Structure 1
Amino acid sequence: MFNSFVSKVKPKRINTALNHFDWVQAMQDELDELERNIVWRLILTLKDAFVVGLKWVCKNKMDKEGYLICNKARLVVKGYCQEEGIDYEETFTPVRRLESVRIFLTYVAYKNFQVYQMDLKCAFLNRELEEMVYVEKPPCFVNEKYPDHCYILDKTVYGLK
């Protein structure tokens, strides 16, 4: 039942992950998803811009029997480096409201529909930002053509305040 393309190693450091093809593929999938959702734009770094760092968070995904099914890599903003009142005004995390879930389930029961659970890859990455937030290029995925560039976020990402 073990998938030979999925590494059981859960790396603590990015250099360890880069030694395993499946972790590199998981990171590339995350970057592709960010590009597909038009989360950011590459720009020349401004002199007075505060550029927030990024880091990779790696996790092994298991099925209900405990078998490893895939590796998941998330690119996370180091939001703990931001200072309230300077880099952000408030912390916002889009979540489902319990009332919405109840209304949905009531409607499903009324119409006698079937409900299936599904895992959304990038459910968090849908809120557009009003603020100007600059982030560094992803660790170990730096484009050498643009050494003086950073990304400006158009949409929210994990860890952002």
Structure 2
Amino acid sequence: MGSIDEDEEGDELACDGEAVQPSSDSLAAPRAASPVLIPAECLDEEGVGSRSATSVEWGSNEPRMGDEDNLRVDVEEMGREPRSFKEAMKFPQWHEAMKKEIEALEDNRTWSVVQLPEGKKALGTQWVYKVKYNSDASVERFKTRLVVFCNHQVEGINYNDTFAPVAKMVMVRTFLAVVAVKNWELHQMDVHNAFLHGDLSEEIYMKLPPGFNKGRPGAVCKLHKSLYELKQTPRCWFWLQR
């Protein structure tokens, strides 16, 4: 299968697209086939794979690196947060975390894979890695997040209003005071990955995530749901609650 052709990860935030055939406007279908990861030894310093690379599937139990020494991870190295996709691919814990993140985004119908329309540009993407710890300093989980490079979004083209109203603290304190005076029960809740549920009204295209391979040259992701770091993501969540 083919691999990613464009620079997906680096110190600079880049988002150059390629002009190809128009895309389909249909929503993403449920995940039909597992996306593919490229082995670490087949990646260059920017995390871009060569076309001769042998693919590694997200669904595998461990990433096949070709060198078993890469999988002998001591506690110190395992707890260190990777600084690049290529580095993360050396550790099965991060490989599994990226797999789950991609599956969750596809199950949420966050995007559909299409060809980039002529005259459009695709925003770049990057993986962010974070080790979550328990109160006793033991590792709770390995968390990954796929973010979009929003610094190349153009106002009026792929975003408009970005503000989202929030409750002032004085109102929150007043509400809590009323609850206390009237001896009411108070409940709270948390929405898991809240920002990922907002619907986008703008036409936004995103480069394939680092390591993501659909075997379609020129393919990009057309976003249907908001994603982390998009300028309008908080506002999309606000409108969803109305």
- TM class by shorter chain equals 0.7 to 0.9
Tell me the equivalent position of 1:158. 228
Tell me the equivalent position of 2:128. 57
Tell me the equivalent position of 1:87. 158
What is the deviation of 1:7?
2.7
Provide the identity percentage: 29
CA distance in 2, matches of 1:33, 1:101: 33
CA distance in 2, matches of 1:101, 1:58: 33
How does 1:82-121 map onto structure 2 within 5 Å? 82-92=153-163, 97=167, 110-112=183-185, 120-121=191-192
TM-score normalised per structure 1: 0.79
What is the deviation of 1:85?
3.9
CA distance in 2, matches of 1:152, 1:56: 18
SS at match of 2:195: coil
What is the deviation of 1:111?
4.8
**Which consecutive unaligned segments of at least 5 residues does structure 1 have?**
none
Higher relative contact order (CA 8 A, sep 6+): 1
Tell me the equivalent position of 2:201. 130
User: What is the root-mean-square deviation in Å for CA atoms of aligned residues?
Assistant: 2.9
CA distance in 1, matches of 2:213, 2:145: 16
What is the deviation of 1:98?
5.4
> Please, which of 96, 107, 131 is the counterpart of residue 36 of structure 1?
107
What is the deviation of 1:90?
2.9
**2:78 matched to 1:19?**
no
**Which consecutive unaligned segments of at least 5 residues does structure 2 have?**
1-74, 232-242
Tell me the equivalent position of 2:219. 149
* Letter of the structure 1 residue corresponding to residue 222 of structure 2: I
User: Which deviates further from its counterpart, 125-134 or 42-51?
Assistant: 42-51
Query: Any idea what the Cα deviations from partners look like across 1:6-62, whole Å, max 9, x if unmatched?
Result: 931210111010010110111111111101111111112111111101100000001
SS at match of 2:222: strand
> Please, which of 192, 207, 211 is the counterpart of residue 140 of structure 1?
211
CA distance in 2, matches of 1:141, 1:38: 16
Aligned length: 153
SS at match of 1:23: helix
TM-score normalised per structure 2: 0.55
Largest Rg, 1 or 2: 2
User: Which deviates further from its counterpart, 44-53 or 79-88?
Assistant: 79-88
Higher strand share: 1
